[in-house]
């Protein structure tokens, strides 16, 4: 089991409430996944700037060291540099032109620090523990943005660790959450690694994320990549996939993992169960339906 | 009429109270408010009472029902009326996967669509769906009737035993050992009764009947070498 929630806002007036709405949805899904939780938020973007979300299990010592290290780099655009720490995570905002330099600096010199996501608008926060504790630790109710997806995890395929929690991000501004289990993930992981794709964990869901990112980097749209996924990913899945402009939903042809969607003029919402959606505004007037098996859905701004 | 607010009084109180009703109870009508997608609403009832759930429900609403008549004024989550023995469950909206699974008796009426695996392993229940049903419906269905006014998804009636399937619309594909069968006078009459019971206006003559070819569950001596 696992719980998935997703919220895509059509009405910009709701943007300040994205974190609050999504956090409430996430906490409702606690009994589907009490061991870890995570949220990807697509917040405001600034032209020419990127965000890198990093994580460490010893943030008190690692993040100040990292910050000093970055600030000591003489050729970085310091006026755009900003590092915000939130519990075990930190968000580095920097000039887009400095992205590769900072990412290399982290991977080469800071083995305790893991990159959770990078892109113009994505931020990912995930940890082990009850969803409500994860929400509190990262003050997720205060997050703002245009869309976001969240996951509550009941681990089946790999260990309960921060890196095993969802969402998984394997491409710029891309992320994926998964309810289910893949049966060909070991073979697919080997194939993708042979293609040069970086996969950090032994988790099956990360393989799905990496697979979709790899297809998109070859020029496929998200819709095409999801369709390819239907042919090449074997197992049970309900995926919700986030990109900079929106989110997509895909269920495997057997569709035993639950999924409910609701749409109004103000939002499109996804929940593993209807319970997750009941507090959304005007839910009684919303069009509520179950996404069809093996059908690709996508909403974008 | 007694009203129970699940948000205020709790799911446990609701089910305990309803389960305590006996065959001779005077409190015949129950109104449930604020279901908010909760699991296991009005399960295990065994009294001739009328329960109205005002809103949508989560997993297993009306599960293991006996005698009671339960109406969901909304949509129902997975496994609505699962393993029901008698009585009636009506869903005014849509039903999620495995509606009426393993049901042994009684009637399940779905006024919207039902998702996949509707009537899986049904053992005597009658299920009438006004809309469409999803894939793998009536999988290993043993007894009872599944009536669909709309279309059926892939692999209808796979590994079917002796349940009768009536579909008015299209069938995307039939599962293993499920075949179309003749509609005789007996079937037309039975279907008319089922439609009337579900308060649905449809002409029985427009339906096709599907049933088991009985090739799968009888041992065939020609296949002995396979074992």
Same domain? A32 vs A95 = no
Q: What is the ipTM of this complex?
A: 0.92
CATH of the domain at A94: 3.30.70.1360
Model pLDDT, residue A75? 85
- The tokens for B159 are 């590994």
Mark A130-156 as b/e (b = at least 16 C-beta within 10 Å): bbeebbebbebbebebbbbbbbbbebe
Same domain? A138 vs A170 = yes
Mean pLDDT, range A204-232, rounded to an integer: 95
CATH of the domain at A178: 3.60.20.10
Q: What phi and psi, each to the nearest 5 degrees, are found at residue A115?
A: -85, 120
Q: What residues of A are in contact with residue B115 (Cβ under 8 Å)?
A: 255, 290
B135·A290 Cβ contact <8 A: no
Alpha-carbon distances of A223 from A213, A215, A299, B196, rounded to whole Å: 12, 10, 10, 45
Query: Does B152 score more than 90 pLDDT?
Result: yes
Q: How far apart, in whole angstroms, are the C-alpha atoms of residue A92 and residue A84?
A: 7
Q: What residues of B are in contact with residue A256 (Cβ under 8 Å)?
A: 97, 116
pLDDT band at A77 (very low <50, low <70, confident <90, very high): confident
Nearest chain A Cα distance for residue B169, angstroms: 18
Q: How far apart, in whole angstroms, are the C-alpha atoms of residue A45 and residue A157?
A: 35
Model pLDDT, residue A160? 94
Tell which wins on pLDDT, B32 or A156: B32
Instruction: Say if B212 falls within a structural domain.
Output: yes
Q: How far apart, in whole angstroms, are the C-alpha atoms of residue A6 and residue A24?
A: 11
Which residues numbered 46-105 in B keep a CB inside 8 Å of some CB on A?
Answer: 56-59, 75, 77-78, 94, 96-97
Same domain? A97 vs A171 = no
CA B134 to chain centre: 13
Same domain? A53 vs A35 = no
pTM exceeds cut of 0.90 = yes
**Number of domains forming the structure of chain B:** 1
Same domain? A192 vs A177 = yes
pLDDT band at A301 (very low <50, low <70, confident <90, very high): confident
A256·B75 Cβ contact <8 A: no
Same domain? A153 vs A291 = yes
- The tokens for A80 are 């755009």
Instruction: Say if B126 falls within a structural domain.
Output: yes
pLDDT tens readout for residues A83-122: 999 999 999 999 999 999 999 999 999 999 999 999 999 9
Model pLDDT, residue B223? 78
> Please, which residues bridge with residue A238 across strands?
A179, A251
Q: How far apart, in whole angstroms, are the C-alpha atoms of residue A241 and residue A243?
A: 7
What sign for the dihedral angle of Cα A12, A15, A17, A21?
positive
Q: How far apart, in whole angstroms, are the C-alpha atoms of residue A294 and residue A252?
A: 5
Mean pLDDT, range A151-163, rounded to an integer: 91
User: Strand runs (DSSP E) across chain B, as ranges?
Assistant: 2-5, 29-33, 50-54, 69-72, 88-91, 107-110, 123-129, 143-148, 164-167, 178-181, 208-212
Same domain? A70 vs A180 = no
Mean pLDDT, range B120-138, rounded to an integer: 98
**Number of domains forming the structure of chain A:** 2
Omega of the bond prior to A167 within 30 degrees of 0, cis? yes
Among candidate residues A120, A147, A181, the one where a domain is terminated: A120
Domain boundaries, position B66: 2-216
**Catalytic: which of A1, A2, A39, A48?**
A2
Same domain? A15 vs A84 = no
Q: Which of B7, B36, B95, B153 to mutate to test the interface with A (most CBs of A within 10 A)?
A: B36
CATH of the domain at B81: 2.160.20.60
Q: Does residue A256 have an active-site annotation?
A: no
Asked if A253 and A234 count as a contact pair (C-beta separation under 8 A), the reply is no
Domain boundaries, position A251: 2-44+127-300
- Nearest by CB to residue B37, choosing from A254, A275, A290, is A275
Among candidate residues A120, A150, A175, the one where a domain is terminated: A120
Same domain? A267 vs A147 = yes
Asked if B50 and B30 count as a contact pair (C-beta separation under 8 A), the reply is yes
Among candidate residues A120, A138, A167, the one where a domain is terminated: A120
Nearest chain B Cα distance for residue A155, angstroms: 21
Mark A90-115 as b/e (b = at least 16 C-beta within 10 Å): bbbebbeebbeebbebbeeebeebbb
pLDDT tens readout for residues B200-223: 999 999 999 999 999 988 878 887
Same domain? A103 vs A234 = no
B56·A293 Cβ contact <8 A: no
Q: B89 by DSSP, 3-state: which?
A: strand
Alpha-carbon distances of B104 from A92, A133, A279, rounded to whole Å: 60, 44, 36
pLDDT tens readout for residues A248-275: 999 999 999 999 999 999 999 999 999 9
Query: Does A157 score more than 80 pLDDT?
Result: no
């Amino acid at each position: 089991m696992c719980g998935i929630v997703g919220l895509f806002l059509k009405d910009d007036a709701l943007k300040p409430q994205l974190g609050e709405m999504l956090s409430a949805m996430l906490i409702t899904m606690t009994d589907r996944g009490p061991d870890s939780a995570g949220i990807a938020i697509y917040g405001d973007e600034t032209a020419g700037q990127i965000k890198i979300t990093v994580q460490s299990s010893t943030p008190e010592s690692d993040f100040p060291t990292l910050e000093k290290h970055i600030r000591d780099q003489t050729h970085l655009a310091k006026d755009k540099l900003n590092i915000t720490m939130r519990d075990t995570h930190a968000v580095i905002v920097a000039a887009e032109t400095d992205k590769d330099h900072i990412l290399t600096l982290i991977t080469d010199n800071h083995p305790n620090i893991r990159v959770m996501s990078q892109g113009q608008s994505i931020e990912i926060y995930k940890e082990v523990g009850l969803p409500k504790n994860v929400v509190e630790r990262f003050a997720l109710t205060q997050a703002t943005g245009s869309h976001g997806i969240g996951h509550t995890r009941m681990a089946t395929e790999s260990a309960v660790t921060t890196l095993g929690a969802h969402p998984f991000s394997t491409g710029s501004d891309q992320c994926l959450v998964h309810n289910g289990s893949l049966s060909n993930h070991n073979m697919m992981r080997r194939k993708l690694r042979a293609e040069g794709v970086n996969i950090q964990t032994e988790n099956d869901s990360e393989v799905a994320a990496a697979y979709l990112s790899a297809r998109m980097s070859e020029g496929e749209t998200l819709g095409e990549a999801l369709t390819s996924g239907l042919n090449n990913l074997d197992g049970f899945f309900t995926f919700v996939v986030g990109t900079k402009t929106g989110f997509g939903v895909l269920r495997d042809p057997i569709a035993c993992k639950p999924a409910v969607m609701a749409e109004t003029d103000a939002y499109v919402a996804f929940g593993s169960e209807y319970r997750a959606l009941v507090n959304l505004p005007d839910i009684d007037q919303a069009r509520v339906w179950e996404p069809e098996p093996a059908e690709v859905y996508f909403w974008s701004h | 009429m007694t009203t129970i607010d699940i948000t205020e009084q709790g799911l446990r109180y609701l089910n305990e109270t309803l389960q305590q009703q006996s065959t001779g109870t005077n409190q015949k009508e129950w109104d449930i408010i604020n279901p908010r997608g909760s699991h296991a609403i009005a399960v295990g009832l065994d009294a001739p009472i009328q329960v109205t759930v005002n809103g949508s429900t989560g997993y297993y609403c009306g599960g293991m029902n006996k005698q009671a008549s339960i109406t969901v004024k909304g949509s129902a989550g997975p496994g609505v009326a699962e393993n029901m023995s008698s009585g009636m469950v009506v869903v005014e909206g849509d039903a999620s996967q495995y509606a009426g699974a393993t049901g042994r008796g009684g009637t399940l009426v779905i006024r919207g669509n039902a998702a996949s695996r509707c009537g899986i392993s049904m053992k005597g229940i009658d299920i009438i769906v006004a809309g469409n049903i999803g894939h793998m419906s009536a999988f290993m269905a043993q007894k009872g009737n599944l009536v669909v006014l709309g279309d059926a998804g892939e692999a209808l009636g796979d590994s079917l035993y002796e349940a009768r399937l009536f579909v008015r619309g299209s069938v995307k594909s039939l599962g293993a050992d499920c075949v179309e069968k003749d509609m005789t006078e007996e079937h037309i009459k039975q279907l008319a009764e089922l439609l009337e019971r579900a308060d649905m206006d449809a002409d029985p003559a427009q339906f096709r009947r599907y049933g088991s070819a009985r090739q799968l569950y009888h041992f065939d001596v020609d296949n002995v070498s396979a074992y």
